[in-house]
C-alpha cells in the first residue's frame, strides 16, 4: 500500500529498452546548444537593447528593484552612479546579471536618483519590488492516485513500478558507472523541512564540508533557514518531485532516485515572495549549476528583473518548470491573455526553456476548475487536484514533521508528527485539501528529472530547448482533443509516452524519428 510495496522488476515497458527521446542524441551532441538559447540574455522585458533605461516610474511606496548587466559593470570599473545605493561587493564575474533592492527610505532625493539611474549605462531594469504569490489553492503509493497506470485512469501519469524499474535499470547500467547521473533540482519556495525522512537523504550537501546547499533569500531568519519551511508549501512541492523511493515509509516522488534537491527559501511568511527574493534565488541557484528550477509561484507583474534572471539561468542550460496559476480571487480558472496575466507562466510562449503547467483533476478527468488555461502559454497539464471526498486520495505529499493533521503517519517511523498528508489544519477546526497548479508543476519537474538522469548516465547533455521541444512540439506527452483550449496541442503528462513515443510513429524503439532536428533546433517555443 505504501512505498515499500513497489517492486522494481526488470520488465521493459512495451518491450522497449531504450527511451525514444535519447535516440536523437549522438556522441557529439552533448554540448549542443541552440543559437536562440545564447541570445536569451539580451531578450529580457524592459530596458533598451543597450541596457540603458529610457524611463521608469517609482513613487517610493515600495522598495525599488534594479538589475545590472555585470559585464558592463566590470568594463566600467564599477563606476555606475547607482552603485552608491547598493552593496555590489558580492558580484562575481561569473554572473550575467545582478539584482539589488534600493530601500525606499534610503533615497532622500528622488529626482536626483532618477537622473542618476537614467544616466546609468549598466542598469537593465528598475521596477517596484512587488510581491509574488505562491500558486496554490491550498488545495501514500496506493493512495497516490495520480501515479496510476493510464489503463486504470487515462489521465494518471503512469508512474508505475515497471516504468520506474526500466528507467532505473537504464540509468544504473554497469557499463556507464563513470557518468554522474544525479540531477540537481532547485526548489524556489518556502523552504524544505530537512527533518522529513522522505526528503532529508536527497538534500544537496557540500562533499567537503558536509553542509547543506541552498540559500535563504527571504530577508528574514538565519542563513540556514532554507532547511525549515515557513509554511508547508515547499516541503509538499519537494515531495512530489523527489520523495525517496523504497525507504520504508511515506510516498514516492515522480523522481525518487537520481536527484539532489537544493532548497531556496524566498518566503518568510509561507505565502508570498518579493520579486527581489525570487530573482536572487534564481541567481543563487544558477551558481550551483542546477539542471532544473521549480517555481510554483505567480504574479501579475511582468517583471523585467524576473525575466532577465530566468533568461540568464536558461543561458546556463537550466530548465524552468512553473505553475500556470490558480485563477482569480474566487479561485476560478482563467484564460491567460492580456486581460489576465500570470508570470512567469506567460514567459512560456517566447521562451525555449520554460514550461508552464496547468492542473488536471484525477477524478473528473478534466481540467481542475481553479486552473488557468491557455493553448499559447500553458505547455501541458498534470494532476493537481482530486475532487474525491476520500481524504486519503488527495494530492498526497510530504509536509513538515511539525504538522500533525491526525490523518496519516509514517509506518514504522517514531519521529514526531506525520510528515505526510492531504490535509492541513488551518487552526480553526477546519481543513483544506492541498491542491493547485503548484502541485501539477513539480510532478512535471519529476518527470523531466528522469529524462535528464538517463541522458546524464550516457554522458550526454540535454538543453532546455530540447526538453521543451520534446514535451511541447514533438512527442512528449499525451494529447487530448478536448484539452486543446487548455494547453498547447492539448498536451497532458503521460510518462510512458514521454519516454517511449516517437513523433507520429508510436512506441518504436528501433528507428530514429525523422524530426530529431526539430528536437534540437525547434524555434516554435523560442
Active-site residue identified among 3, 63, 69, 189: 189
pLDDT in tens, 346-358: 999 988 899 999 9
Q: Which residues contact 418 (CB under 8 A, 6 or more apart)?
A: 399, 401, 403, 404, 405, 406, 407, 408, 409, 410
**Does position 52 have pLDDT exceeding 90, yes or no?**
no
| pLDDT in the model for residue 400 | 83
pLDDT averaged over every residue in the chain: 77
CA torsion sign for 475, 478, 484, 486 is negative
Active-site residue identified among 193, 230, 233, 522: 233
- Cα(263)–Cα(252) distance, integer angstroms: 19
244 and 419 Cβ atoms separated by less than 8 Å: no
Of the ranges 207-211, 243-247, 404-408, the best mean pLDDT one: 207-211
- Cα(399)–Cα(224) distance, integer angstroms: 19
Q: Which residues contact 526 (CB under 8 A, 6 or more apart)?
A: 34, 36, 37, 350, 351, 352, 465
Q: Which residues contact 390 (CB under 8 A, 6 or more apart)?
A: none
Q: Cell digits for 282?
A: 534564481
- Cα(274)–Cα(280) distance, integer angstroms: 10
- Cα(348)–Cα(463) distance, integer angstroms: 16
**Where are the strands (E) in 194-283, listed by range?**
215-216, 259-265, 272-274
**Does position 9 have pLDDT exceeding 50, yes or no?**
no
Q: Is 236 a catalytic residue?
A: no
| Residue 525, φ and ψ in degrees, nearest 5 | -110, 15
- The residues spanned by each domain of the chain are 3-13+135-521, 37-130
CATH number of 3-13+135-521: 3.40.350.10, 3.40.630.10, 3.40.50.200, 3.30.565.10? 3.40.50.200
| pLDDT in the model for residue 116 | 85
> Helices in 66-160 by DSSP H: which ranges?
70-75, 110-119
Q: Is 181 a catalytic residue?
A: no
Active-site residue identified among 268, 348, 359, 438: 438
pLDDT-derived band at 136, boundaries 50, 70, 90: very low
pLDDT-derived band at 47, boundaries 50, 70, 90: very low
Q: Cell digits for 189?
A: 519556495
Find the mean pLDDT for residues 440-464.
90
| pLDDT in the model for residue 108 | 87
Provide the β-strand partners of residue 123. 68
pLDDT-derived band at 4, boundaries 50, 70, 90: very low
The total of other beta-carbon atoms located within 10 Å of residue 102's CB is: 21
Share above pLDDT 70 across residues of the chain, in percent, rounded to a whole number:
72
pTM as predicted: 0.81
pLDDT in tens, 479-508: 888 999 999 989 999 887 777 765 433 333
The total of other beta-carbon atoms located within 10 Å of residue 105's CB is: 8
Q: Is 233 a catalytic residue?
A: yes
Q: Cell digits for 445?
A: 519537474
Of the ranges 161-165, 170-174, 457-461, 486-490, the best mean pLDDT one: 486-490
Amino acid at each position: 500500500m505504501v512505498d515499500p510495496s513497489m517492486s522494481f522488476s526488470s520488465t521493459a515497458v512495451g518491450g522497449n529498452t531504450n527511451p525514444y527521446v535519447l535516440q536523437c542524441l549522438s556522441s557529439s551532441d552533448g554540448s549542443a546548444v541552440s543559437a536562440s538559447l545564447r541570445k536569451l540574455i539580451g531578450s529580457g522585458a524592459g530596458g533598451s537593447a543597450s541596457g540603458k533605461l529610457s524611463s521608469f516610474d517609482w513613487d517610493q511606496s515600495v522598495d525599488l528593484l534594479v538589475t545590472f548587466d555585470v559585464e558592463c559593470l566590470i568594463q566600467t570599473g564599477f563606476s555606475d552612479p547607482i552603485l552608491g545605493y547598493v552593496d555590489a561587493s558580492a558580484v562575481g564575474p561569473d554572473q550575467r546579471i545582478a539584482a539589488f533592492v534600493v530601500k525606499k527610505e534610503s533615497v532622500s532625493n528622488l529626482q536626483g536618483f532618477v537622473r542618476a539611474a537614467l544616466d546609468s549605462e549598466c542598469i537593465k531594469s528598475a521596477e517596484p519590488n512587488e510581491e509574488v504569490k505562491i500558486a496554490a489553492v491550498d488545495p501514500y503509493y496506493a493512495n497516490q492516485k495520480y501515479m496510476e497506470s493510464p489503463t486504470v485512469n487515462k489521465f494518471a501519469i503512469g508512474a508505475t513500478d515497471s516504468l520506474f524499474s526500466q528507467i532505473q535499470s537504464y540509468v544504473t547500467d554497469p557499463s556507464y558507472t563513470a557518468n554522474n547521473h544525479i540531477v540537481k533540482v532547485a526548489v524556489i519556495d518556502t523552504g524544505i523541512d530537512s527533518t522529513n525522512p522522505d526528503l532529508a537523504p536527497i538534500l544537496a550537501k557540500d562533499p567537503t564540508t558536509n553542509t547543506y546547499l541552498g540559500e535563504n533569500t527571504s530577508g528574514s531568519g538565519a542563513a540556514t533557514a532554507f532547511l525549515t519551511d515557513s509554511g508547508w508549501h515547499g516541503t509538499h512541492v519537494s515531495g512530489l518531485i523527489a520523495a525517496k523511493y523504497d525507504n520504508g515509509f511515506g510516498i514516492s516522488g515522480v523522481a525518487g532516485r537520481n536527484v539532489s534537491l537544493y532548497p531556496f527559501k524566498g518566503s518568510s511568511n509561507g505565502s508570498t515572495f518579493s520579486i527581489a527574493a525570487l530573482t536572487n534565488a534564481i541567481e543563487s541557484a544558477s551558481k550551483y549549476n542546477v539542471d532544473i528550477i521549480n517555481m510554483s509561484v505567480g504574479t501579475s507583474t511582468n517583471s523585467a528583473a524576473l525575466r532577465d534572471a530566468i533568461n540568464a539561468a536558461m543561458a546556463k542550460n537550466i530548465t524552468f518548470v512553473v505553475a500556470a496559476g490558480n485563477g482569480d480571487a474566487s479561485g476560478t480558472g482563467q484564460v491567460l491573455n492580456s486581460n489576465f496575466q500570470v508570470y512567469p507562466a506567460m514567459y512560456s510562449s517566447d521562451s525555449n526553456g520554460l514550461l508552464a503547467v496547468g492542473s488536471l483533476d484525477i477524478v473528473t478527468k478534466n481540467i481542475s476548475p481553479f486552473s488557468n488555461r491557455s493553448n499559447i502559454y500553458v505547455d501541458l497539464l498534470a494532476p493537481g487536484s482530486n475532487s474525491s471526498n476520500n481524504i486519503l486520495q488527495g494530492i498526497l505529499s510530504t509536509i513538515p514533521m511539525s504538522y500533525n493533521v491526525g490523518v496519516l503517519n509514517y509506518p514504522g517511523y517514531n519521529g514526531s508528527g506525520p510528515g505526510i498528508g492531504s490535509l492541513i489544519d488551518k487552526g480553526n477546526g477546519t481543513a483544506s485539501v492541498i491542491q493547485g497548479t503548484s502541485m501539477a508543476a513539480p510532478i512535471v519537474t519529476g518527470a523531466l528529472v528522469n529524462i535528464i538522469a538517463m541522458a546524464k548516465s550516457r554522458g550526454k547533455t540535454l538543453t532546455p530547448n530540447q526538453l521543451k521541444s520534446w514535451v511541447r512540439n514533438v512527442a512528449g506527452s499525451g494529447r487530448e482533443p478536448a484539452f486543446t483550449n487548455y494547453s498547447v496541442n492539448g498536451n497532458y503528462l503521460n510518462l510512458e509516452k514521454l519516454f517511449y513515443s516517437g513523433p507520429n510513429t508510436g512506441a518504436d524503439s528501433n528507428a530514429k524519428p525523422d524530426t530529431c532536428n526539430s528536437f534540437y533546433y525547434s524555434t516554435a517555443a523560442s
